[in-house]
């Protein structure tokens, strides 16, 4: 094919055929810009720059670079040569492992997040990066992450029913990419002009007793490792990250006052939190397998805590609906009419708080169980009040545990409760 007589067009580039010789075609409309066609059998096409006697610079394959983008890159390369820089050395640096997305985010954690935030905030950010960002972008260079990649990541989170997490991840990515621009890792952030993927609204979803029963039975059906984890969420009323990251040294399961001490680094408010351990929790923990002598309660490899909560939640939802429809069929109702309103794992915590209140537990004790900063004790009294209500928390959690056992011990559609499977020795009130 003859050399182009006018500026390259995509149609002309597509029509160029490979021959038995390697050929370079100059773009008449852009001096220094070339289309390189390798000889057969390869016949690969790529873009290149030959500018003012400087070494040839290969931009990349025509399959990866559109004509428009290749023109822009050629302009950048030429400016670099004019400014006395070596774009080939810069390209080599950009392609180094240091610019792999996972390594850049590790550096962001070390130099920004952990250096400027409380340990609990750093813990949450690290978890989000590990569970939401790295699995999608691992192995990709940070320089090739585009706005479309960010949109896809956030849309996937919204679609699987975690819009709040999507909004938090959006804020995290915005900070991370701005940090990359400040450090010279990127010229521009792919987040520029991108709006939050959802609007966060206050949730008030509380599971009914029937739904809580289905959740417990569903957790039994899906089994290890998420089944016991979900049960722990229901009974302890603690946060998902705190339960999922629990380690055996945090627990004292023997003696008169069994307890779980959540260390400050893992507590959201950065304060050590004592959770009285009830008999049902002890039975759950004692039944957990030990993986490779790991101290972690919930791990499948002995090294890291479990991941994949969204898929596990989908399995729990499916198990709950299956149980609910089976019970409806046994009652003579139409199982297809049974539906369960959407809910999230954090609703276990809200359900426990609401349930304890209904059982007569005082608000300040519920706040103590949840490790909330008190909203009922204010002013100077809040500053000097060091009483953590350990006994009150124990009685509250015992009441809540009894309520759960009443729910799961009942026959569907019956007011008759069976306690044969459960005992509460020395539980008190």
Domain that holds residue 171: 98-182
- Buried b / exposed e across 275-313, counting CB within 10 Å, b at 16+? bbbbbbbeebbeebeeeeebebbbbbeeeebbeebbebb
Specify the DSSP class assigned to residue 191: T
**For residue 131, pLDDT beyond 70:** yes
Check whether residue 261 and residue 385 sit in a common domain: yes
CATH number assigned to the domain comprising residue 149 = 1.10.150.130
> How many domains in the chain?
3
Predicted confidence at residue 95, as pLDDT, reads 63
- Give counts: helices (H), strands (E), the chain: 18, 7
Least confident residue range of 35-49, 118-132, 279-293: 118-132
Predicted confidence at residue 384, as pLDDT, reads 38
| Averaged pLDDT of the chain | 87
The DSSP annotation for 214-242 comes to: HHHHHHHHH-TTHHHHHHHHHHH---HHH
Domain boundary among 43, 63, 94: 94
Check whether residue 78 and residue 128 sit in a common domain: no
Check whether residue 232 and residue 327 sit in a common domain: yes
CATH number assigned to the domain comprising residue 250 = 1.10.443.10
What are residue 417's phi and psi, to 5 degrees? Answer: -105, 135
Q: Is the pTM of this model over 0.75?
A: no
Contact 220, 353 (CB under 8 A): no
d(CA 216, CA 237): 14
pLDDT single digits (tens) 180-206? 999 988 888 999 889 998 876 666 889
Mean pLDDT of 382-396: 72
Alpha-carbon dihedral 225, 227, 231, 236, rounded to 10 degrees: 20
Check whether residue 143 and residue 262 sit in a common domain: no
Confidence class for position 267, pLDDT limits 50, 70, 90? confident
Check whether residue 115 and residue 45 sit in a common domain: no
Mean pLDDT of 283-307: 94
**For residue 90, pLDDT beyond 80:** no
Check whether residue 169 and residue 303 sit in a common domain: no
Check whether residue 133 and residue 173 sit in a common domain: yes
Mean pLDDT of 85-112: 84
- Residue 410 CA: distances (Å) to CA of 213, 227, 417: 9, 20, 5
pLDDT single digits (tens) 147-170? 999 999 999 888 877 788 899 999
Give the Cα-Cα-Cα angle 231, 234, 239 (nearest 5 degrees). Answer: 105
Confidence class for position 20, pLDDT limits 50, 70, 90? very high
């Amino acid at each position: 094919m003859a050399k182009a007589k006018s500026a390259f067009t995509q149609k002309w580039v597509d029509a160029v055929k490979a021959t038995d010789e390697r050929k370079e075609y100059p773009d008449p409309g852009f001096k220094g810009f070339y289309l390189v066609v390798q000889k057969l059998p390869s016949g690969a096409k790529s873009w290149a720059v030959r500018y003012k006697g400087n070494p040839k610079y290969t931009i990349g394959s025509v399959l990866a670079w559109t004509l428009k983008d290749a023109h822009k890159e050629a302009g950048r390369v030429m400016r670099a040569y004019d400014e006395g820089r070596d774009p080939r050395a810069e390209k080599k640096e950009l392609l180094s492992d240091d610019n792999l997305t996972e390594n850049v985010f590790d550096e962001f954690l070390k130099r920004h997040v952990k250096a400027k935030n409380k340990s609990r905030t750093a813990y949450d950010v690290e978890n989000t990066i590990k569970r939401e960002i790295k699995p999608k972008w691992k192995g990709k260079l940070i320089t090739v992450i585009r706005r479309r990649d960010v949109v896809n990541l956030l849309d996937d989170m919204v679609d699987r029913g975690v819009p709040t997490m999507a909004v938090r991840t959006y804020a995290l990515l915005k900070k991370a990419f701005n940090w990359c621009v400040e450090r010279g890792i990127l010229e521009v952030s792919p987040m520029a002009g991108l709006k939050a993927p959802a609007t966060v609204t206050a949730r008030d979803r509380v599971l009914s007793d029937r739904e809580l029963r289905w959740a417990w039975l569903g957790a039994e059906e899906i089994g290890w490792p998420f089944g016991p984890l979900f049960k722990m969420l229901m009974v302890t009323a603690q946060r998902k990250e705190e339960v999922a990251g629990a380690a055996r040294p945090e627990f004292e399961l023997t003696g008169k006052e069994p307890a779980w001490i959540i260390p400050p680094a893992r507590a959201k408010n950065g304060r050590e939190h004592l959770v009285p351990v009830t008999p049902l929790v002890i039975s759950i923990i004692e039944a957990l397998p030990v993986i490779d002598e790991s101290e972690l309660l919930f791990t499948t490899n002995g090294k890291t805590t479990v991941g994949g909560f969204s898929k596990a939640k989908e399995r729990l939802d499916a198990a709950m609906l299956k149980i609910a429809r089976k019970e409806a069929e046994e009652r003579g109702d139409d199982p297809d009419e049974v539906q369960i309103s959407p809910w999230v794992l954090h609703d276990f915590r809200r359900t426990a708080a609401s349930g304890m209140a209904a059982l007569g537990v005082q608000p300040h004790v519920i706040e103590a169980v949840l490790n909330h900063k008190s909203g009922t004790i204010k002013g100077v009294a809040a500053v000097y009040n060091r009483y953590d209500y350990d006994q009150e928390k124990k009685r509250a959690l015992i009441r809540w545990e009894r309520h759960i056992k009443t729910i799961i011990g009942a026959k569907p559609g019956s007011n008759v409760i069976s306690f044969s499977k459960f005992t509460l020795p020395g539980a008190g009130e």
